[in-house]
Amino acid sequence: MIEKETKYTEDSIRSLDWREHIRMRPGMYIGKLGDGSSPDDGIYVLLKETIDNSIDEFIMGYGKQIDIKITDQIVEVRDYGRGIPLGKVFDCVAKINTGGKYDTEAFQKSVGLNGVGTKAVNALSQYFKVQSVRDGKKKVIEFKLGNLLKDHKLEKSDEVKGTTIWFTPDESVFRNFRFMPEFVENQIWNYSYLNAGLTIKFNGKKFFSSDGLKDLVIRKNDPETFRYPVIHFREKDIEFALTHGNQYGEEYYSFVNGQYTTQGGTHLAAFREAVVKTLREFYNKDFDAVDIRASIIGAISVRIQEPVFESQTKTRLGSTLMAPDGQSVRNYVMEYIKKELDDYLHQNHDVAAALLKRIQQSERERKDMAGIKKLANQRAKTANLHNKKLRDCRVHFTDTKDERRYDSTLFITEGDSASGSITKSRNVEIQAVFSLRGKPLNTFGMNKKIVYQNEEFNLLQHALDIEDGLDTLRYNNVVIATDADVDGMHIRLLLMTFFLQFFPDLVKNGHVYILETPLFRVRNKKETIYCYSEEEKQKAIEQLGEKTEITRFKGLGEISPEEFGNFIGENIRLEPLLLDSATSVNKLLEYYMGKNTPERQDFIIDNLRIEKDMLVETLVEEVI
Residues 165 and 140: beta-carbon distance below 8 Å: no
Please determine, for residue 151, whether its predicted confidence score (pLDDT) is greater than 80.
Answer: yes
Helices H / strands E in the chain, number of each: 22, 23
Residue 620 in this model has a pLDDT that exceeds 50: no
Does position 17 have pLDDT exceeding 50, yes or no?
yes
pLDDT value of residue 192: 95
> CB within 8 A of 330, min separation 6: which ones?
266, 269, 270, 273, 320
Tens of pLDDT along 60-81?
Answer: 889 999 999 999 889 999 999 9
Identify the band that residue 534 occupies on the pLDDT scale cut at 50, 70 and 90: confident
CA separation (Å) from 344 to 156, 212, 229, 424, 580?
A: 56, 19, 12, 59, 32
Q: What is the pLDDT of residue 13?
A: 43
Cβ-based neighbours of 559, under 8 Å, separated by 6 or more: 421, 517, 518, 553, 567
Question: For position 109, what pLDDT does the model report?
Answer: 56
- Looking at residue 14, what DSSP letter applies? -
Cβ proximity of 137 and 86 under 8 Å: yes
Higher pLDDT, 75 or 100: 75
Residues 6+ apart with CB under 8 A from 257: 109, 110, 111, 302, 303, 304, 307
Residue 259 β-bridge partners: 256
Distances (CA, A) of 606 to 465, 489, 583, 616, 619: 38, 15, 21, 10, 12
The three-state DSSP-derived secondary structure of 183-218 is: HHHHHHHHHHHHCCCCEEEECCEEECCCCCHHHHHH
DSSP strand pairing (65-71 vs 199-202): parallel
Q: Is 623 exposed, middle or buried (0-12, 13-18, 19+ CB in 10 A)?
A: middle
CA–CA distance, 330 with 343 (Å, rounded to integer): 20
> Looking at residue 614, what is its pLDDT?
40
Helix 486-502 crosses helix 585-593 at what angle (to 10 degrees)? Answer: 150
Residue spans in the chain of domains classed CATH 3.40.50.670: 402-623
520-523 and 528-531 strand pairing: antiparallel
Q: Contact at 8 Å (CB) between 363 and 288?
A: yes
Residue 621: pLDDT over 60:
no
Name the CATH topology of 213-367: Ribosomal Protein S5; domain 2 (3.30.230)
How many other CB atoms sit within 10 Å of the CB of residue 324?
Answer: 10
Across 260-273, average pLDDT: 87
For the domain covering 402-623, report its CATH number: 3.40.50.670
Element containing residue 65 per DSSP (H, E): strand 65-71
> What DSSP assignment string belongs to 73-91?
TEEEEEE-SS---GGGHHH
284 phi and psi angles, rounded to 5 deg: 55, 45
Cβ–Cβ contacts within 10 Å for residue 71, how many? 9
Residue 304, SS3 per DSSP: coil
Q: How would you classify residue 520: left for phi > 0, otherwise alpha for psi between -120 and 50, otherwise beta?
A: beta
Pair type for strands 431-436 and 390-391: antiparallel
Does the CA dihedral 434-437-443-444 come out positive or negative?
positive
Amino acid letter for position 521: R
pLDDT over 60 at 104, yes or no: no
pLDDT of residue 609: 47
Cα dihedral 178, 183, 189, 194 in deg (nearest 10)? -100
What share of the chain in percent tops pLDDT 70?
83
- Return the minimum-mean-pLDDT range out of 411-425, 476-490, 571-585: 571-585
Q: How far is CA 468 from CA 128, 251, 370, 471, in A?
A: 44, 12, 14, 8
Comma-separated ranges of CATH 3.30.565.10 domains in the chain? 18-207
**Confidence class of residue 114 from pLDDT cuts 50, 70 and 90?**
very low
What pLDDT digit, counting tens, does each position of 478-489 carry? 999 988 777 888
Strand 431-436, strand 296-302: pairing = unpaired
Structure confidence at residue 102 as a pLDDT band (50, 70, 90): very low
Tell me the pLDDT tens digit for each residue of 281-329: 999 999 999 999 999 999 999 988 777 766 655 666 776 666 545 678 8
5 CB contacts (<8 Å, ≥6 apart)?
A: none
pLDDT of 32 strictly over 90: no
Residue 70 CA to residue 66 CA, distance in Å, equals 13
pTM: 0.77
Residues of the chain with CATH 3.30.230.10: 213-367
Say what the pLDDT of residue 616 is. 39
| Per-residue model confidence (pLDDT) at position 295 | 92
248 falls in which pLDDT band (50, 70, 90)? confident
Record: fold of 18-207: Heat Shock Protein 90 (3.30.565)
Q: Which residues pair with 242 in a beta bridge?
A: 231, 298
Per-chain mean pLDDT for the chain? 84
